[in-house]
Each structure stands twice: as structure tokens, then as C-alpha cells.
């Protein structure tokens, strides 16, 4: 069961400062945090946990960042609701590089030259409207003009939007994996919807011990749009499955404050930071093997 910790604040600057501090907290395992503006121009900070968080530690971080009078987080179960569908209500198509991510109701927004990816609200993360996904799409568009990748992994595929983007733009096969069987089902459905089902292998796999990875490795390109904690923990295995001579890793799902910790984990495995980009407060890192 997912838990949500929420704190109401008056100022956007306070909300952003708190999100950065919490997102960079190794003690909290680098949780996902977000800010939302309210109708009265106040702000709510929400943090998502898969287990009961250390509320004393949360309170300590709030005090350190905002002082004694800032209040405390309220922790409660996340209501059982289709949050992807909810988040898409009223959203417009999103452009990232040559890609246009849209719902079926916005097909008329497609322009000549667009690589249009149709993703409906569903049960898995990765609609293109989130800054991490859009940042990855922009980086995919850039890398495609520079390199000819042969073996590609989309780790933590969600709705499959990144794998679909690669298949549509590059006409290359992609292994798209996720620990959630719902995500891999949604990925397969979206791949078929976008006409690239033959190029995408969607596989449910938890950890690199699954034989599907060995069957496709080494990978020239690995994209992982997940969370900072798992990205750090997976660094040795991700790098081990990368092509030994030339290989690229694109990482996202990160707040800006989490970038140094994630980068350090991959540098310790022989990678170097080649590029980083920020979109809507979220960071995308591109790493290559150090020479």
C-alpha cells in the first residue's frame, strides 16, 4: 500500500526548498516528492512512500529547512484511485523534441514532421506530461541524431512511452521491462496502438537475474526513468549490462538535488557524466563510459 505524507505551506519557495531537501535524503531512501499549488495560492508538499516513513525524521527535516513553526507532515494511505487518469484530466498534448505525446482526443494537434505517440490515461506511470518523461524524450531525440544504437533497454518502462518513442523514431527493437505486470501489459497495448508491437518486447522482470536481460545484453543504450534510490542500488548491474566499449545510460525520475548522489554511484562504476538537463524541476542525466 502506498502512503502519502502531506504538508500545507504558504510560500512556493518554502515548498520547493523542502521538496529538494527531502528528495535528497538518503535516510528516507530518496523518496518521490512533489509540490501542488492550491486555489488560494498556497502550496502542498506531497511525499510518496511504500512503507511507513520515519515521521520523526520528516519533522526534523522540516525544522532544519523551515524552522520550528512550519508544521508537520500528515501521513495517510493513498486513496485507491486511477492517478494517471486523474493527472491527465484537461492536459494538453506535450512536445519534446520531435515527439508529440497525446491522447486520442488530440489527434488533430499532430503537425507534419511530428513523431506522434498516442498514450491514453491508464494504470502505469509515464504519460509524457511528467517532466522526467518529457526530459527523456528530448534526450532520445538528441541521441538519435548522434549514434546508431543496436541493443536498447527501457528499464522501468511504465506505459512504454520511451520504448515506443525509440521504436517509432529509430525503427529499432527495444526490450521494455518493469517489475509491475500491469505496466508491461499496458506497454504492449500502447505499442500495438502506435504500430510498433513487433519492435517492442515487454517483459515483467524484477532485478537483473531474470534471463531476459542476458538474452539481450550487452546493451548499447539503457534508459531508466525510475527513482533515485533504485537507480543508485542498481548502478553496478546497469553498468555490467552495458556494452563494454561504447555505451550510453540515460537516467531520470530525479529531483535536481538528487543528481549528485546518483551521478556518484555511476561514476564509481566507471561512468562519466556527459550531459544533464532540467525540465520542470526534474533532472535527466546522460552518462558514458569513462575513457
Question: Angle at Cα 56 formed by Cα 51 and Cα 62, nearest 5°?
Answer: 105
Backbone torsions φ then ψ of 173, nearest 5 degrees: -70, 145
3-state secondary structure of 174: strand
- State the DSSP code for 65: H
- Report the distance separating Cα 109 and Cα 107, nearest Å: 5
**Cα-based distances in Å from 155 to 89, 215, 261, 277:** 27, 15, 20, 20
Please indicate if the annotation marks 156 as binding a ligand: yes
Residues contacting residue 14 through CB under 8 Å, at least 6 positions apart: 43, 65, 66, 70
Residues contacting residue 113 through CB under 8 Å, at least 6 positions apart: 98
Q: Which residue has the cell 541521441?
A: 143
Number of Cβ atoms within 10 Å of the Cβ of 165: 29
Strand-pair partners of 73: none
Please indicate if the annotation marks 178 as binding a ligand: yes
Please indicate if the annotation marks 133 as binding a ligand: yes
Please indicate if the annotation marks 225 as binding a ligand: yes
Per the annotation, where are the binding residues? Answer: 133, 156, 178, 225
> Which residues are annotated binding-site positions for S-adenosyl-L-methionine?
133, 156, 178, 225
Amino acid at each position: 500500500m502506498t502512503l502519502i505524507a502531506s504538508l500545507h505551506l504558504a510560500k512556493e519557495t518554502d515548498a520547493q526548498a523542502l521538496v529538494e531537501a527531502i528528495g535528497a535524503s538518503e535516510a528516507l531512501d530518496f523518496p518521490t516528492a512533489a509540490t501542488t499549488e492550491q486555489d488560494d495560492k498556497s502550496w502542498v508538499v506531497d511525499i510518496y512512500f511504500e512503507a511507513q516513513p520515519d515521521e520523526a525524521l520528516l519533522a526534523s527535516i522540516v525544522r532544519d529547512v523551515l524552522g520550528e513553526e512550519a508544521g508537520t507532515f500528515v501521513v495517510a494511505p493513498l486513496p485507491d484511485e486511477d492517478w494517471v487518469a486523474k493527472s491527465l484530466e484537461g492536459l494538453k498534448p506535450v512536445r519534446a523534441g520531435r515527439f508529440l505525446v497525446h491522447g486520442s482526443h488530440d489527434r488533430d494537434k499532430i503537425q507534419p514532421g511530428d513523431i506522434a505517440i498516442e498514450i491514453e490515461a491508464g494504470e502505469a506511470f509515464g504519460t509524457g506530461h511528467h517532466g522526467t518523461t518529457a526530459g527523456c524524450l528530448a534526450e532520445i531525440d538528441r541521441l538519435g541524431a548522434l549514434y546508431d544504437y543496436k541493443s536498447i533497454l527501457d528499464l522501468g518502462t511504465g506505459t512504454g512511452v520511451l520504448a515506443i518513442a525509440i521504436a517509432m523514431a529509430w525503427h529499432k527493437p527495444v526490450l521494455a521491462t518493469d517489475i509491475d505486470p500491469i505496466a508491461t501489459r499496458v506497454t504492449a497495448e500502447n505499442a500495438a496502438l502506435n504500430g510498433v508491437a513487433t519492435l517492442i518486447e515487454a517483459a515483467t522482470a524484477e532485478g537483473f537475474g531474470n534471463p531476459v536481460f542476458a538474452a539481450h545484453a550487452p546493451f548499447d543504450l539503457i534508459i531508466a526513468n525510475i527513482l533515485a534510490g533504485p537507480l543508485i542500488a542498481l548502478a553496478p548491474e546497469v553498468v555490467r549490462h552495458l556494452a563494454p566499449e561504447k555505451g550510453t545510460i540515460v537516467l531520470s525520475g530525479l529531483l535536481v538535488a538528487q543528481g549528485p548522489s546518483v551521478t556518484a554511484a555511476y561514476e564509481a562504476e566507471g561512468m562519466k557524466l556527459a550531459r544533464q538537463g532540467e525540465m520542470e524541476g526534474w533532472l535527466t542525466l546522460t552518462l558514458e563510459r569513462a575513457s
